[in-house]
């Protein structure tokens, strides 16, 4: 029997350490994860009353900020009205949300509901494979993605992920996934223009499709910009060219909007910054601002059409219990309503510009190689040497993060992605951040950088 008396006297941190397995964190004898108790706007508070500006919106998702009563009320009302309906049937918020998503996508998609970003990508891969089978192209099964990109933690989504450190010790994963290098404009060859370099990277992707035998390639999956993998922002020429390449070779284009969607880049969806029309769009996180688990795979109508065939197993045979939960859909609808009422997409663009302007002077800092961003997703690339661009050491990058935290600012990084290149700091605050919040971020980041010259 456990001694309940002893357990009762443990602090929350100690209890947490005994029973809760933290996500993607090495065990530390000397350190315990922060236990968060409350949040309001862009700020969170731990159980000791310490306040932090959450410069990462949780895990890049709390787009409308914390403590929104309307979202709690939307979930409450929906749970009383109808708490659960499987998506083998349907319900009112699922229909209304699907219509709203099509309005934001400005196109005609069928909406398939799941629980998480990983799920949404798994669904996209299965639809791509089955689509080709039923569309007289049965040998297409390979999925092309990019090194450094993250597409999720389940076996298929992890196979598409191009981050070796996330896969190490879990392999072998699913077969039929291959990777190509993304454009990394900061590290492009000096004798090439940004556009020449981006077109070359698109050509490499095309070569991979041809060398693999294009008749075996089902889809390309990519984020509009690589977010968690280091905030690598392509030139528009790259994204447009990849779209053309996919069309030319009969390959479907899946855009992963799990982070970039819902205003993060300054538009409803990140791919709208580049003027492309994907065959499928996956989304999660900002869809509910993290208030409820929900994700979507939006599928172009012409793809859906082939699932209407009446042959054996012609329908899409995928189900999940919680996907499209009525309360989660009601929360998503209210969340989008808040974003529209408060013009948060435009606000993300404006605040992003303010952050980039304010950080400009840090480009002269000896350890800052590059600062880049689109809307409210901003990366600061730390280097040991500005000439050689040697990536900043783990120790240096970790110090910037912990010094920000001790001043009340949480910032992120591309942690455990690829060996030796986990050197990009991330700023990704709620889109609802106030002007004062943004000034606090700027002041704190600058203070920390200047004391670590």
- CB distance 281 to 109 below 8 Å: yes
Residue nearest to ligand PLP (CB): 117
Buried b (16+ CB within 10 A) or exposed e, 258-275: bbbbbbbbbbbbbbbbbe
Which of 210, 235, 240 is closest to 225 using CA atoms? 235
273 within 8 A of 257, measured Cβ to Cβ: no
Judged by CB under 6 A, the chain residues 212 through 271 that form the site for ligand PLP are: 223, 227-228, 256, 258-259
User: Within positions 151 to 210, which residues make up the interface with ligand PLP, using CB under 6 A?
Assistant: 151-153
What residues numbered 309-368 form the site for ligand PLP, per CB under 6 A?
A: none
**Residues ≥6 apart with Cβ < 8 Å to 453:** 365, 366, 367
Q: Mark residues 66-105: x for contact with ligand PLP by CB under 6 A, - for none.
A: ----------------------------------------
CB closer to ligand PLP, 118 vs 237: 118
Q: Which is nearer to ligand PLP, 196 or 320 (CB)?
A: 320
Complex with ligand PLP: residue 266 or 369, whichever CB lies closer: 266
Q: According to CB under 6 A, which residues from 8 to 67 bind ligand PLP?
A: 59
DSSP string, 357-390: HHHGGGGGSTTEEEEEESSS-EEEEEEEETTTTE
Distance in angstroms (rounded) separating the CA atoms of residues 120 and 151: 10
State the minimum distance, in angstroms, from the CB of residue 56 to ligand PLP: 11
Q: How far is the CB of 442 from ligand PLP (least distance, A)?
A: 25
Residue 150 vs 177, nearer CB to ligand PLP: 150
Asked whether position 117 contacts ligand PLP by CB under 6 A, the answer is: yes
Tokens at 276, concatenated: 């492309």
Cβ nearer to ligand PLP, comparing 163 with 423: 163
Beta-bridge partner residues of 40? 43
Q: How far is the CB of 320 from ligand PLP (least distance, A)?
A: 13
DSSP 8-class letter at 298: E
Single residue of 87, 220, 255, 284 touching ligand PLP by CB under 6 A = 284
CA angle 424/429/431 to nearest 5° reads 135
Q: Look up residue 273 and give its DSSP letter.
A: G
**Positions in 132-161 near ligand PLP (CB under 6 A):** 150-153
Tell me: cis bond preceding 165? Omega within 30 of 0 counts. no
Q: At its nearest, how many Å lie between ligand PLP and the CB of residue 213?
A: 28
Task: Name the site residues for ligand PLP (rule: CB under 6 A).
Answer: 59, 116-118, 121, 150-153, 223, 227-228, 256, 258-259, 284
């Amino acid at each position: 029997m456990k001694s309940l008396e002893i357990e009762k006297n443990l602090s929350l941190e100690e209890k947490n350490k005994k029973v809760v397995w933290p996500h993607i964190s090495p065990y530390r004898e000397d350190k315990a994860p922060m236990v968060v108790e409350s949040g309001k706007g862009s700020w969170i508070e731990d159980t000791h009353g310490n306040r932090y500006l959450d410069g990462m919106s949780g895990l890049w998702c709390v787009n409308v900020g914390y403590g929104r009563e309307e979202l709690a009320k939307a979930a409450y009302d929906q749970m009383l009205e109808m708490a659960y309906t499987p998506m083998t049937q349907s319900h009112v918020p699922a229909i209304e949300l699907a219509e709203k998503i099509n309005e934001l996508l400005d196109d005609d998609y069928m909406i398939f509901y799941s629980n998480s970003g990983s799920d949404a990508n798994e669904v996209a891969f299965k639809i791509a494979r089955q689509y080709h089978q039923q569309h007289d192209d049965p040998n297409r099964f390979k999925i092309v993605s990019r090194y450094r990109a993250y597409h999720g933690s389940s076996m298929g989504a992890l196979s598409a992920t191009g981050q070796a450190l996330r896969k190490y010790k879990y392999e072998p994963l699913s077969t039929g996934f291959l990777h190509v290098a993304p454009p990394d404009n900061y590290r492009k060859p000096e004798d090439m223009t940004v556009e020449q370099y981006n077109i070359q990277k698109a050509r490499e992707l095309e070569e991979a499709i041809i060398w693999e035998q294009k008749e075996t390639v089902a889809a390309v999956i990519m984020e509009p910009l690589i977010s968690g993998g280091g905030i690598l922002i392509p030139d528009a020429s790259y994204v447009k060219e990849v779209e053309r390449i996919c069309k030319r070779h009969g390959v479907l284009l899946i855009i992963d909007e799990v982070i970039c969607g819902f205003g993060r880049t300054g538009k409803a969806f990140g791919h709208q910054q580049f003027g492309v029309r994907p065959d499928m769009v996956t989304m999660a996180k900002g869809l509910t601002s993290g208030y409820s688990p929900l994700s979507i795979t939006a599928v172009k109508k012409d793809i859906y059409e082939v699932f209407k065939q009446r042959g054996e197993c012609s329908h899409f045979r995928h189900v999940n219990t919680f996907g499209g939960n009525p309360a989660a859909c009601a929360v998503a609808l209210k969340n989008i309503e808040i974003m529209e009422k408060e013009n948060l997409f435009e606000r993300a663009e404006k605040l992003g510009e303010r952050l980039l302007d304010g950080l400009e002077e840090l480009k002269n800092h000896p350890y800052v190689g590059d600062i880049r961003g689109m809307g409210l997703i901003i990366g600061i690339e730390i280097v040991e040497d500005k000439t050689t661009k040697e990536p900043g050491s783990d120790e240096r990058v970790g110090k910037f993060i912990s010094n920000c935290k001790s001043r009340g600012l949480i910032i992120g990084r591309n942690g455990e992605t690829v060996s030796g290149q986990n050197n990009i700091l991330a700023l990704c605050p709620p889109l609802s951040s106030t002007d004062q919040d943004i000034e606090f971020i700027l002041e704190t980041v600058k203070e920390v950088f200047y004391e670590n010259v």
